Structure 1
Amino acid sequence: MDSKQLPQNFQGFSSESAYLLNDNELTLKRSRKEASKKRKFCVLVACVIQLVVCGGTGYGLSVMYAEIIIVFNTERADAALIQSFNMGMAAASGIMFTWMIKKFGPGVCITIGASVSAIGLFASAFADNLVTITVCTGVITGTAMGICQLCAYLTVTWTFHHNPGLFLVILTFGMSFGQLIGPNMYELFISNYAWSGAFILLAAVSLQLIPFGLVIHLSRYYFVRTSDMSIQEKQRSCCDISLFIDVVIWVLWINFLLLALTGNVEPWFIVDHMISLGFSRKDGAFTSSAIGIGNFIGKLIGAFIKFRCRQVATVYHWIYLGVLMAGLHMIIISLDQLIALFLFCLLFGCIFGLIFSQAPVVMFEASGLDRYPQACAMMNVMFGIGDVFGPLLGGYIKDITGVYNIAFFIASGASVYISVSSVCGVYYSRKRHM
């Protein structure tokens, strides 16, 4: 059928009976209805839960990191590989499974990802060396969680296709909840069941993603994956290389890389940093949870800003947020009191949560609905590369110098760059549309 024969209500699918162009066959497939508000709410909650579990597992490894150093008597740089691979693969591996998500749907892929994640964590409980834990928890579990994370982002975009910006910000609340719950969950599990028992319980937590994946799977007929394009445009979009020659897109991708590489230096190392200052691991886990609380508050602020400033490009906010992040990375070096560190982590979590909540929205505004799956996957690749090398770099700095100060200095400089490059991104974007 020629594109001119498509019904006028094709764009947006706002009517009771609209048509969907099949991605593989490029034919009109079946009539659909707009999802009800209750269904959209359930889908949004299911997607948030994906990030709660994935984020909690990854950020909570900062507590396991401190325990593994003692149990296996290993170097910090080696122990940091577990968290770096887990968070790195969780962010970057999704691009390898984009085809699978499109073919089988996000619900099925979440079920597979949750099951494989649980297997990796369960196997880690019986490891007798650091390499096995790194492979099982770092690589296998991290890769599986990467599927679940990307499924969550794409599901929200396809469900709230008219204007997904606000709902993408709300989705990132899951990471805040995970960062709040994760460290305390690890501390509770390790204290009562040792490190090996903790891995078994974490495997059970991963399996809780499956019923939420089922909710998403049952809502698959309401997804809208593309805007109103001609057949020729859809054919070109299958091999669209415009993302890789877009200056603005590359400015954003590099910013995402630096944000992941250095922005998480406090969540990664706050527990070990506090232990080196004479505090207990429990104090470190408690203080680390303040980042999660602040993260949640920051994302609430991000949702409010997006709601009230709908006509303002989100990347504008990164200009001043980068400067604030740079200042906070410098302040932590001078703090040595528990209350001061707690309040710092609370404030840091607010700023980091605010800037992180805007990342998927910034990417969507720059790429658009049709290019967003590939753009989002590449955004996660950049996050993944940063998450892999960030903990490794920080652990190496600690092993060499005995403190994390240089890591905090590097993070401060990277935040300044993010602010300056955001100005450049705005300039190129405005120039392109003149």
Structure 2
Amino acid sequence: MSKLMLTIVVSNMTAMKRERTPDRWVPIALDGGWGYMVILGSFAIHVIADGIVYAFGVMAKALMETFQVSNAQVSIIVSLLVGITLASGPVASGVTNKYGCRITTIVGAFIASIGLFAASFATNIYYVMVFAGAVTGVGFGFIYCPAIVIVTMYFEKYRALATGIAVCGAGVGTAIFSPLQEWIISNYSWQAALRINAGFTMLCILAGLTFAPLEFMPVWDKKEGELDEEVEETVSETKMVSDLKDDAETKSLLEVGKIVRPAISHQDISLQHDNGLVKRTISTSSGLNKDRSKNVTESSGYLDIKDVFYQGSVTHLPEYQKEGEKFRSVHSLHSRTASHGAADLKKVGFEEDEKQLVSQSTDAGVKEQSGFMKAINKYTDLSLLQDPIFILFAVSNFFTSVGFNAPMAFLVSHGVRLGLTNENASLIMSAWGICNTVGRVVFGLISDMKFPFKGGDNLARNRLWIYNISLIVNGLVTGFSFLFTDFYGIIFFGAFIGLSISSYVCLTSVILVDLIGVDKLTNGFGMLLLFQGIATFVGPPLAGIIADATDSYNWAFFMCGTCIAISGAMLFGVSFLQRKLNRVPEIATGKAKDIMLH
């Protein structure tokens, strides 16, 4: 038996030498090419999905009139729609990680369309809550995650510009859908508006089809000579184990399950005791050892890449500058389908069998989870709750989210109460959308600029202060909504809060990396979505209750503004915590403006 075992090991090691298995796989960020179609698809999704959500204030007014319900009741629809969209982030990420961006988007668009269409047949407000709120929220949650992930995967050097263009679709969609919804409701009905929204949402399926699987490039850490030494050493050690098989001490060593030789690189070669026999376990599928092209195509597993939610350009991250191609790499891919076109590229997926060994683990007994559960666990790892800096940022996000969504739900009704026509009131949200789009571009530019004063080259601090100040100013203006009473005043009000709140949308992931590092970004981003989702369940209903109790939206806006201003002011404590914890970040050197110009 020992000779047979030795023969097997030598044979397999020789095969590995003949065709080396890559140590890692690096996504090929195209920074162009089909990536432009990916941007277009993501932009279209943001136009449709965000346009429907942000323009829901027009629909809310019509629902209140039809069902004779209060602000608090109709606001539950908004809180469910947005809250479930955010809270479903971990599940959506798991599906994206397992099945890829294209399939997840298509499934999400189908679910959201069903929810909107079914809500058009509602006979009471609770029916609308379930379908337009909860069901559509799940669908949009499945759409949003891949719409962001796919852009960050296709772009590396020009990622800031690419993601900026894609997410600007939210402001464009708000500017378009708000007056469009009002026109449909005025000329037809709110039921027709919901059905048309369902039709628009189905178009997200076409947008999702642009999310083509991405190619991964194999990377080897060891040179050919080093690999030869590894092979010879492994064979030599295996022969020694074979010769000593009858030795009592060796038997004792094997019986306690100790590993004779740890795994090397991607090919997990481990010797472990099982029923008195020594077995060789290989973590990779044999598919990669067969004939294949230089690169492979990957449609899933994206969330295993540490910078997948980072919307800035990774080439300026200190980690990227230190690690190079290893920064965005993954370690274990296995063949899943046949050839791909003329290039005979093979689609591969991450190891999903929990019985297979983790390829980089030195513990041969450690098992790898499925792509679905791995993403969810990474998203919801509670260890970050022990980090005071992250807790401060998460609580700030909670307060921002409490005040963020309610104004959009009630601005149109507020305008009508001030004496505006329905058509003019819908223009408030159009102004909000246009200025929000401008704000995302402006904040994206200035947040990566050095300023001409002492300490102005600290980009992380610059970003944080810009973020903080914009939230404080937004909160103050929102809280003093009673100062804007005529048509031009309320249009300016909507435009300004749309402009100033855009920092919250476009800088959150970048600041999160500044605070906790890119290695914890996926976990941190997932936890933030949970905080934001819970806050959204609270914010709009609370604002609705205040509006009903005071018979005025001004006090509801005052509550929202107070929460937003507090969320910005409290983050000035980050610098104190960083000094106390000795975690002052490195000063980055990149400029988004340079990226925009190339």
Give TM class, smaller chain. Answer: 0.7 to 0.9
By how many angstroms is 1:307 displaced?
4.4
> Match of 1:392?
541
Bigger relative contact order, structure 1 or 2, given CA contacts below 8 A and separation 6+? 1
> Match of 1:188?
183
**What is the distance in 2 between the residues matched to 1:75 and 1:402?**
11
> Match of 2:286?
none
By how many angstroms is 1:58 displaced?
0.9
| Aligned counterpart in structure 2 of residue 362 of structure 1, from 511, 518, 542 | 511
For the residue of structure 2 that corresponds to 1:126, the secondary structure is coil
> Match of 2:225?
none
1:102 partnered with 2:97: yes
> Match of 1:141?
136
1:287 partnered with 2:428: yes
Q: In the TM superposition, what whole-angstrom CA distance separates every residue of 1:386-414 from its partner, at most 9, and x where no partner exists? A: 32222211111111110122222222322
**What is the distance in 2 between the residues matched to 1:360 and 1:268?**
25
| Aligned counterpart in structure 1 of residue 522 of structure 2, from 373, 398, 402 | 373
For the residue of structure 1 that corresponds to 2:459, the secondary structure is coil
Answer with 208-217 or 235-244: which moved more. 235-244
**What is the distance in 2 between the residues matched to 1:144 and 1:364?**
28
Structure 1: segments with no counterpart, 5+ residues: 1-17, 22-27
Code of the residue aligned with 2:49 in structure 1: it is C
Q: How does 1:278-357 map to 2 (within 5 A)?
A: 278-309=419-450, 312-313=459-460, 314-357=463-506
> Match of 1:3?
none
> Match of 2:169?
174
Q: Is the 8 A contact 1:318 1:422 kept in 2?
A: no
For the residue of structure 1 that corresponds to 2:34, the secondary structure is helix
Answer with 422-431 or 101-110: which moved more. 422-431
For the residue of structure 1 that corresponds to 2:497, the secondary structure is helix
Q: In the TM superposition, what whole-angstrom CA distance separates every residue of 1:327-349 from its partner, at most 9, and x where no partner exists? A: 21133212211011112221221
For the residue of structure 2 that corresponds to 1:358, the secondary structure is helix
Q: Is the 8 A contact 1:257 1:383 kept in 2?
A: yes
1:210 partnered with 2:205: yes
> Match of 1:247?
388
Q: In the superposition, relative to structure 1, how do residues 104 and 331 fare at CA in structure 2: closer, same or farther (>3 Å)?
A: same
Q: Is the 8 A contact 1:316 1:426 kept in 2?
A: no
Q: Is the 8 A contact 1:154 1:373 kept in 2?
A: no
1:414 partnered with 2:563: yes
**What is the distance in 2 between the residues matched to 1:73 and 1:57?**
23
**What is the distance in 2 between the residues matched to 1:333 and 1:213?**
43
**What is the distance in 2 between the residues matched to 1:59 and 1:327?**
21
1:41 partnered with 2:36: yes
**What is the distance in 2 between the residues matched to 1:358 and 1:402?**
35
**What is the distance in 2 between the residues matched to 1:386 and 1:269?**
17
Answer with 369-378 or 286-295: which moved more. 369-378
Q: Is the 8 A contact 1:170 1:299 kept in 2?
A: no
Q: In the superposition, relative to structure 1, how do residues 111 and 369 fare at CA in structure 2: closer, same or farther (>3 Å)?
A: farther
**What is the distance in 2 between the residues matched to 1:319 and 1:353?**
12
Code of the residue aligned with 1:69 in structure 2: it is M
Q: Is the 8 A contact 2:471 2:501 kept in 1?
A: no
Q: In the superposition, relative to structure 1, how do residues 168 and 186 fare at CA in structure 2: closer, same or farther (>3 Å)?
A: same
**What is the distance in 1 between the residues matched to 2:384 and 2:132?**
33
**What is the distance in 2 between the residues matched to 1:316 and 1:166?**
22
> Match of 2:305?
225
Structure showing greater Rg: 2
TM-score by length of 2: 0.63
Answer with 169-178 or 68-77: which moved more. 169-178
Code of the residue aligned with 1:258 in structure 2: it is F
Q: Is the 8 A contact 2:31 2:155 kept in 1?
A: no
**What is the distance in 2 between the residues matched to 1:20 and 1:188?**
58
> Match of 1:160?
155
Q: In the superposition, relative to structure 1, how do residues 391 and 401 fare at CA in structure 2: closer, same or farther (>3 Å)?
A: same
Q: Could you say what the CA RMSD is over the residues aligned between the two structures, in angstroms?
A: 2.8
**What is the distance in 1 between the residues matched to 2:162 and 2:447?**
10
1:69 partnered with 2:219: no
**What is the distance in 2 between the residues matched to 1:327 and 1:253?**
21
By how many angstroms is 1:164 displaced?
4.7
Identity across the alignment (%): 22
By how many angstroms is 1:167 displaced?
4.5
By how many angstroms is 1:96 displaced?
2.2
Structure 2: segments with no counterpart, 5+ residues: 1-20, 216-296, 307-326, 332-359, 451-456, 585-598
**What is the distance in 2 between the residues matched to 1:68 and 1:358?**
34
**What is the distance in 1 between the residues matched to 2:190 and 2:560?**
31
By how many angstroms is 1:36 displaced?
4.8
Code of the residue aligned with 2:39 in structure 1: it is L
By how many angstroms is 1:242 displaced?
3.7
Q: In the superposition, relative to structure 1, how do residues 229 and 136 fare at CA in structure 2: closer, same or farther (>3 Å)?
A: closer
By how many angstroms is 1:47 displaced?
2.1
Q: In the superposition, relative to structure 1, how do residues 355 and 94 fare at CA in structure 2: closer, same or farther (>3 Å)?
A: closer
Answer with 326-335 or 166-175: which moved more. 166-175
Code of the residue aligned with 2:488 in structure 1: it is I
**What is the distance in 2 between the residues matched to 1:232 and 1:315?**
37
> Match of 1:270?
411
**What is the distance in 2 between the residues matched to 1:165 and 1:244?**
29
**What is the distance in 2 between the residues matched to 1:311 and 1:19?**
38
Q: Would you tell me which structure has more strand in proportion to its own residues?
A: 2
By how many angstroms is 1:370 displaced?
4.0
**What is the distance in 1 between the residues matched to 2:27 and 2:418?**
60
Q: Is the 8 A contact 1:165 1:306 kept in 2?
A: no
Q: Is the 8 A contact 2:28 2:154 kept in 1?
A: no
For the residue of structure 2 that corresponds to 1:371, the secondary structure is helix
Q: In the superposition, relative to structure 1, how do residues 128 and 341 fare at CA in structure 2: closer, same or farther (>3 Å)?
A: same
Q: In the superposition, relative to structure 1, how do residues 370 and 182 fare at CA in structure 2: closer, same or farther (>3 Å)?
A: farther
| Aligned counterpart in structure 2 of residue 199 of structure 1, from 194, 203, 210 | 194
Count of equivalent residues: 409
**What is the distance in 2 between the residues matched to 1:34 and 1:67?**
46
**What is the distance in 1 between the residues matched to 2:153 and 2:512?**
15
Q: Is the 8 A contact 2:29 2:153 kept in 1?
A: no
Q: Is the 8 A contact 1:190 1:197 kept in 2?
A: yes
| Aligned counterpart in structure 1 of residue 531 of structure 2, from 369, 382, 387 | 382
> Match of 1:85?
80
Q: Is the 8 A contact 2:448 2:459 kept in 1?
A: no
Answer with 166-175 or 243-252: which moved more. 166-175
By how many angstroms is 1:137 displaced?
0.5
Q: In the superposition, relative to structure 1, how do residues 367 and 107 fare at CA in structure 2: closer, same or farther (>3 Å)?
A: farther
Answer with 234-243 or 43-52: which moved more. 234-243
For the residue of structure 2 that corresponds to 1:384, the secondary structure is helix
Q: Is the 8 A contact 2:106 2:205 kept in 1?
A: yes
Q: In the superposition, relative to structure 1, how do residues 354 and 420 fare at CA in structure 2: closer, same or farther (>3 Å)?
A: closer
**What is the distance in 1 between the residues matched to 2:75 and 2:480?**
24
By how many angstroms is 1:369 displaced?
4.1
Q: In the TM superposition, what whole-angstrom CA distance separates every residue of 1:82-112 from its partner, at most 9, and x where no partner exists? A: 1221111122212223221110011110000
**What is the distance in 2 between the residues matched to 1:394 and 1:420?**
21
